[in-house]
């Protein structure tokens, strides 16, 4: 049987951990205004974000208190369980201990409400009535719909058209929680109109949907924009995962040698691993950090570490990060949450400074791992999270071959109950593996802005 460690309520962490002051010296480069090439100031962001979140985005404080109103909502599903995957260990015949932190118990089914709730809260405090945001596979849109509903706000979700058509139940979920869901590109924004004029059949992309949501927010006073990953304040909110996991590992009498997660924009993995990274950077602990991504969108394993835009239509500040080029549209893999062209600057800097490694897997590899996990631990994982499972399995097999008693911890970022058609394809042998889209990435990389 699996061993489940739950924290009692009086032990819950009450602060988020901000890794910025602990980052290796000189490893961070400021976001730049694309017009002037100079570092941006708070005023560059104030049209779309409240000052409180801008403050967190640039904060040098090591800890930030979680507001009580946010905690009251966190308690609907937090603390999440830390589970020792004994059946999986047995199936792999490994001496390694495998633990996972399960974020799929939130109402939306992933880690994303950890930041959607505080983002809605701070916007509400600032007098904002409506949030405009984008969603790919629907996970982030669901989380934001839930969060805005909890604070009596409105929500408009620009949902990438291909997912809008493929995932009607994700859309229904957002509508149940009161959001308006639009298939992006729409004809409501200039960004959407521009794309549709070039290609009326466009199936959209995350980069396009971001452009639309940002424009909606920038052109309405009482509307703000909200991003589900990549930015410092988003990663900050997710550290509740790792802060809980540290206390739970302590209760279990263990400490990880390897900390693993999947990376789309980097937020769930940052959430789990930053508190452990603190132990490495400040405490000199010897821990391996391993991030897993798809071969179809190999941002960290194959991308460049350079300044680029966060969206297709170049409306965001330039950020120093791993990127495949802002107009790169990855193949339609089922791990929709990992189809982003770039990576959180904080994750990128940790890879660049040699504190974190990355690995890439194909769809069939990750579904094979997902099935083994479902058949041993019971939970049917999200395709995104299955990248982390695959990496954990590989590490456990490595430990078996080396005869080492390693302790592995990974983040199970969400369940896969809305992804059954993908499982269906895998089980019927129809799941496609995409070759590394080298040519498309090369074309896209030529359009990365040249600075100075
Ligand atoms: C969105 C999503 C991801 C990828 O986003 P990150 O910011 O990299 O965490 C991973 N897993 C699940 C279940 C998601 O919904």
Question: Which of 85, 93, 87 shows the shortest CA–CA distance to 401?
Answer: 93
Q: Is the CB of 264 under 6 A from ligand 1?
A: yes
- CA-nearest residue for atom 9, ligand 1, is 268
**Region class of 319: left (phi > 0), else alpha (psi between -120 and 50), else beta:** beta
| Closest C-alpha among 278, 296, 299 to residue 287 | 278
Rounded to the nearest 10 degrees, the angle between the axes of helix 383-402 and helix 363-377 is 80
Cα distances (Å, whole numbers) of residue 69 to 66, 104, 113, 158: 9, 22, 14, 27
Ligand 1 pocket member 263 (CB < 6 A): yes
Q: What is the pLDDT at residue 7? A: 82
Give distance in angstroms: CA of 403 to centre of ligand 1.
33
Q: In the beta sheet, which residues pair with residue 304?
A: 323
Q: What's the 291 CA to ligand 1 centre distance in angstroms?
A: 12
**Ligand 1: residue whose CA is nearest its atom 7:** 267
110 lines ligand 1 (CB under 6 A): yes
Positions in the chain whose pLDDT score sits under 50: 1
Whole-angstrom Cα distance, residue 279 to residue 99?
Answer: 18
266 close to ligand 1 (CB < 6 Angstrom): yes
Name the average pLDDT for the chain: 95
Give the distance (Å) from ligand 1 centre to CA of residue 338. 7
pLDDT of residue 399: 98
Q: Which domains can be identified in the chain, with CATH numbers? A: 67-109+233-445 (3.40.50.1100)
Residue-level pLDDT at 452: 55
Determine which residue's CA is closest to atom 5 belonging to ligand 1.
264
Residues 293-339 have pLDDT tens digits of 999 999 999 999 999 999 888 889 999 999 999 989 888 888 888 98
pTM of this structure: 0.97
Nearest protein Cα to ligand 1, atom 3: 337
Q: Where are the beta strands (DSSP E) in 79-234?
A: 82-84, 97-102, 130-135, 154-160, 180-184, 223-225
Mutate to test the pocket of ligand 1, among 413, 415, 418 (most ligand atoms within 8 A of CB): 413
Angle at which helices 168-176 and 139-150 cross, to 10°: 10
The predicted pLDDT at position 278 comes to 98
Quick check: CB of 412 below 6 Å from ligand 1? no
Q: How far is CA 383 from CA 115, 120, 274, 364, in A?
A: 21, 27, 23, 10
């Amino acid at each position: 049987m699996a061993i489940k460690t739950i924290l009692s309520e009086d032990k819950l962490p009450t602060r988020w951990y901000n890794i910025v002051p602990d980052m290796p010296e000189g490893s961070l480069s400021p976001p730049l205004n694309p017009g002037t090439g100079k570092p941006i100031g708070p005023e560059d962001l104030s049209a779309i974000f409240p000052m409180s979140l801008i403050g967190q985005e640039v904060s040098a404080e090591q800890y930030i208190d979680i507001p009580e109103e946010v905690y009251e909502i966190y308690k609907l599903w937090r603390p999440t369980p830390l589970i020792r995957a004994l059946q999986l260990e047995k199936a792999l015949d490994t001496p390694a201990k495998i633990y996972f932190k399960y974020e799929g118990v939130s109402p939306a089914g992933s880690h994303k409400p950890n930041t959607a709730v505080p983002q809605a809260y701070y916007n509400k405090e600032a007098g904002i009535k409506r949030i405009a945001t984008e969603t790919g596979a629907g996970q982030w849109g669901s989380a934001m719909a839930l969060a805005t509903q909890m604070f009596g706000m409105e929500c408009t979700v620009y949902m990438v058209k291909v997912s809008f058509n493929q995932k009607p139940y994700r859309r229904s979920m957002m509508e149940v929680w009161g959001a308006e869901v639009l298939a992006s590109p729409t004809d409501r924004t200039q960004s959407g109109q521009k794309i549709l004029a070039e290609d009326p059949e466009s199936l959209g992309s995350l980069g396009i949907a971001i452009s639309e949501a940002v424009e909606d927010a920038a052109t309405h006073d009482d509307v703000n924009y909200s991003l589900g990953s990549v930015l410092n304040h988003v990663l900050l909110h997710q550290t509740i995962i790792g802060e809980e996991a540290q206390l739970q590992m302590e209760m279990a009498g263990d400490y990880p040698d390897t900390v693993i997660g999947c990376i789309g924009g980097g937020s769930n993995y940052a959430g789990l691993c930053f508190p452990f990274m603190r132990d490495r950077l400040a405490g000199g602990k010897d821990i391996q950090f391993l991030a897993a991504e798809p071969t179809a969108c190999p941002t960290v394993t194959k991308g460049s570490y350079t300044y680029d835009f966060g969206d297709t239509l170049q409306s965001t500040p330039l950020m120093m990060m791993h990127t495949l080029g802002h107009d790169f549209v990855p193949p339609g893999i089922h791990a929709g949450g990992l189809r982003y062209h770039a990576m959180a600057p904080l994750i990128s800097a940790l890879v660049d400074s040699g504190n974190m490694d990355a690995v890439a897997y194909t769809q069939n590899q990750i579904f094979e791992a997902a099935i083994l996990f479902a058949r041993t631990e019971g939970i049917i994982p999200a395709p995104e999270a299955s990248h982390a499972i695959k990496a954990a399995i590989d590490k456990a097999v490595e430990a078996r071959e080396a005869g080492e008693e390693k302790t592995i911890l990974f983040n199970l970022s969400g369940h896969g109950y809305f992804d059954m058609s993908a499982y269906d394809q895998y089980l019927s042998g129809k799941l496609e593996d995409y070759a590394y889209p080298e040519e498309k990435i090369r074309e896209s990389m030529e359009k990365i802005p040249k600075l100075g």
